[in-house]
Amino acid sequence: MIRRDKYLNQLIRKKENGMVKVIVGLRRCGKTFLLFNLFKDHLLNSGVDESHIIAISLDDISNQRYWNPNELDSYLRSRLIPGQKTNYVFIDEIQLVKEVENPYLKGSKVGFTDVVLGLLKIPNVDVYVTGSNSEMLSKDILSKFRGRGDQIHLRPLSFREFYDAPDDKAKAWQEYILYGGMPRILSLASYEDKSNYLKNLFSEVYLKDIIDRNDVRNDKGVLDDLLNIVSSSIGSLTNPLKLSHAFQSVRRLSMNPNTIEKYLGYFIDSFLIESAKRYDIRGKRYIGSPLKYYFEDIGLRNARLNFSELEETHIMENVLYNELRYRGFDVDVGVVDWNYKDEEKKSQRKRLEIDFVCRKGNEKYYIQSAYAIQDAEKKLQETRGFKLINDSFKKILVIKEDIIPRQDENGILCVGIQDFLLDESFTER
């Protein structure tokens, strides 16, 4: 059993806070298991009587009558036990609840939002919901609960979680950067099984959800091609205009940049990809376009490209980005201007990139991802941007090589990627 302690602890901290806990994230990343297994076990081990845990899975055919919100509300209220002890209500796949006519007011509708908000008004009720189609994958879900929603974003397995699962630790890194962290991957043995599973997730689950939610059935081919183009450009600066040119080059198809921006928004809202903005470190301002896009699961990215573009430099950068987001950081792409004189003593200016500027509260870290540091010149190239930053926040160079972590004379910490991913203390005070 894979322990998802980071997310379990979030649920524990949010327990009985007067809000509905909304577990969102990619389909098949473990939302139901987190709630119905890990969190339920925690409650039972904490002394909660099982009769006070009311759990319903709406994707069970025997529960389809509860797709009617009035039936669901009646059922849940009938199971509540009066008194001082809390009733914990788990509703899985809540998006299956349909809107129906209000039987008492013609022309008005009742849906799952009304059921949940009604339960929240009962003093001894604590509500948790999950969902895994387009309705619940959308980032606007919290607005449906009118400020009473508390979101937990469940991500695919981090490298630490993935590493702890199999016995063969030696292959963990290569397996992870190829197949990613979707939990079911760990139960599949062959390349064919893993590959087909990831490809089917795209074709049979994610794209269908996006198409159904946004009514873009006529543009399925465009969505497919756009995903492939974005997959090929992880770690590279791009924007809708550049992607429009790529469409013209690849498909001989003219695509309006505004349409591409809208479709990218669909992918982001469905938690398939995330965008990282550029931030001027010295000027302390956001620059805007172009951005970088990263896949929330690197295995899904590889599957989009039929496992054909496995250049490890950008894959490593994507994995590092996901780890920083998993640790709760807001992550930007940093830029800093370098003024220097060339060989002819002429003044020049060059914009250098810091891969990640990471913030969480008062914490800030600058992180550079470098596949290899062959010599002093390469190290200078990778760390030059660090030396132009005039503050005392920690600067970390993460490399592919397995090395003993060490700090140089400029205070820059150099650490191997696996050590960094397995030990969160590198980004702790």
Domain assignment of residue 396, yes or no: no
pTM over 0.85: yes
Domain assignment of residue 117, yes or no: yes
Residue 190 has what pLDDT? 94
| AA letter at 138 | S
Q: Are 16 and 28 in contact (CB under 8 A)?
A: no
Domain assignment of residue 148, yes or no: yes
Domain assignment of residue 389, yes or no: no
Closest CA to 20 of 151, 170, 201, 216: 151
Domain assignment of residue 404, yes or no: no
Q: Are 25 and 31 in contact (CB under 8 A)?
A: yes
| Six-digit token string for 139 | 């980032």
Tell me the residue range of the domain where 111 lies. 5-153
Residue 134 has what pLDDT? 52
The total domain count for the chain is 1
Which of the 8 DSSP states describes residue 36?
I
| pLDDT tens, per residue, the chain with 429 residues | 788 999 999 999 999 999 999 998 888 899 999 999 999 999 999 999 999 999 999 989 999 999 999 999 999 999 999 999 999 999 998 888 999 999 899 899 999 999 999 999 999 999 999 976 555 555 556 677 777 889 899 999 999 999 998 778 889 999 999 999 999 999 999 999 999 999 999 888 899 888 988 888 778 888 988 999 999 999 899 999 999 988 888 777 888 999 999 999 999 988 899 999 999 999 999 998 899 999 999 999 999 999 998 889 999 999 999 999 999 999 999 999 999 888 888 898 899 999 999 999 999 999 999 988 888 888 999 999 999 998 999 999 999 999 999 999 999 999 999 999 999 999 987
Q: Are 398 and 420 in contact (CB under 8 A)?
A: yes
How would you label 220-259 residue by residue, b for 16+ Cβ within 10 Å and e otherwise? Answer: eebbebbbbbbbbbbbeebbbebbbebbeeeeeeebebeb
CA distance 285 to 282: 8
CA distance 363 to 226: 36
| Six-digit token string for 99 | 């809107």
Q: Which residue has the tokens 């001027």?
A: 280
| Start-to-end Cα distance in the chain | 31
Residue 338 has what pLDDT? 92
CA distance 289 to 278: 8
Domain assignment of residue 66, yes or no: yes
Which alpha helices (H) appear in 80-148, and where do they start and end?
Answer: 112-120, 134-137, 141-144
Domain assignment of residue 201, yes or no: no
CA distance 125 to 89: 7
CATH number at residue 99: 3.40.50.300
Q: Are 336 and 385 in contact (CB under 8 A)?
A: yes
